[in-house]
């Protein structure tokens, strides 16, 4: 089942998501690490701006950041999802480096995948629920959605992704830059919460198709694998 909330525009969407995220953090047990997987794309920039505006001191104590996917580019490159979060969120809020677990794209892809997987599993092991079927239980995953209904770097037609049980894997995407490292479907299925931030009229058809019975888009596969997923959008279905 998916809950879908419609907002007047992308700014209202981002501010609502920021407020809800901060509310979740305020209610948690700060003695346990809270794990978040961030996405790339355009809407996260607005989300980070709203979070910086609304966050109280110490809101992100013991919050550990991971990535849904990362482009295989330097961490200082404008195409880097880490750089997007570092510029917009981490530096403004002075979040300690020890809480940031970026995909180490300066290493070989195989080693970067292994290190990203190990880091996420290590933090999952310290949580109450730990792992499910070998997958880390991430507290909160932010997903964007492309006009082809891809999420993270899980693209239509990637049959290996459907069969893989890997936490992270290297892929060749259908959008530049093509080399990427992404969470797999099983990790997204195991997460406690997944919020899909779908912004832009050009994505309306993809979301409608994904919500239809029997759909096989990447987003649909995520939705069908979970009991509940929150969808926040700025277009009417």
pLDDT tens, residue by residue, 38-92: 999 899 999 999 999 999 999 999 999 999 999 999 999 999 999 999 999 999 9
What is the residue extent of each domain of the chain? 2-233
pLDDT tens, residue by residue, 117-140: 999 999 988 876 678 888 999 999
pTM of the predicted model, to two decimals? 0.96
**What CATH topology corresponds to 2-233?**
Rossmann fold (3.40.50)
DSSP codes, the chain: -EEEEE-SSHHHHHHHHHHHHHHHHHHS-TTS-EEEEE--SSHHHHHHHHHHHHPPTTTTTTEEEEESEEESS-TTSTT-HHHHHIIIIIHHHT--GGGB----TTS-HHHHHHHHHHHHHHHHHTSSS-EETTEE--SEEEE---TT--BTTB-TT-HHHHH---SEEEEE-SSSS-EEEEE-HHHHHH-SEEEEEE-SGGGHHHHHHHHSTT--SHHHHHHHT-S-EEEEESS--
């Amino acid at each position: 089942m998916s809950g879908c909330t419609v907002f007047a525009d992308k700014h209202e969407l981002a501010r609502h998501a920021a407020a809800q995220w901060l509310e979740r953090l305020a209610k948690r047990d700060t003695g346990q690490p809270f794990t978040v997987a961030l996405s790339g794309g355009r809407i996260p920039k607005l989300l980070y701006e709203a979070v910086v505006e609304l966050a109280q001191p110490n809101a992100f104590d013991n919050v550990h950041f991971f990535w849904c996917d990362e482009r295989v580019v330097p961490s200082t490159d404008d195409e880097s999802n880490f750089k997007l979060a570092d510029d917009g969120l981490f530096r403004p809020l002075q979040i300690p480096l020890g809480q940031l677990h970026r995909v180490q794209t300066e290493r070989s892809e195989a080693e970067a995948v292994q290190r990203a997987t190990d880091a996420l599993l290590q933090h999952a092991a310290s949580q109450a629920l730990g792992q499910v079927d070998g997958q880390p239980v991430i507290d909160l995953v932010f997903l964007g959605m492309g006009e082809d209904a891809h999420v993270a770097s899980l693209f239509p037609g990637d049959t290996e992704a459907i069969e893989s049980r890997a936490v992270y894997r290297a892929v060749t995407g259908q959008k530049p830059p093509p080399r990427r490292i992404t969470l797999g479907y099983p990790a997204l299925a195991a997460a406690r919460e997944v919020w899909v931030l779908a912004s832009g009229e050009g994505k309306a058809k993809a979301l409608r198709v994904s919500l239809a019975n029997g759909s096989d888009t990447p987003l649909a596969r995520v939705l069908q694998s979970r009991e509940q997923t929150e969808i926040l959008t700025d277009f009417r279905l």
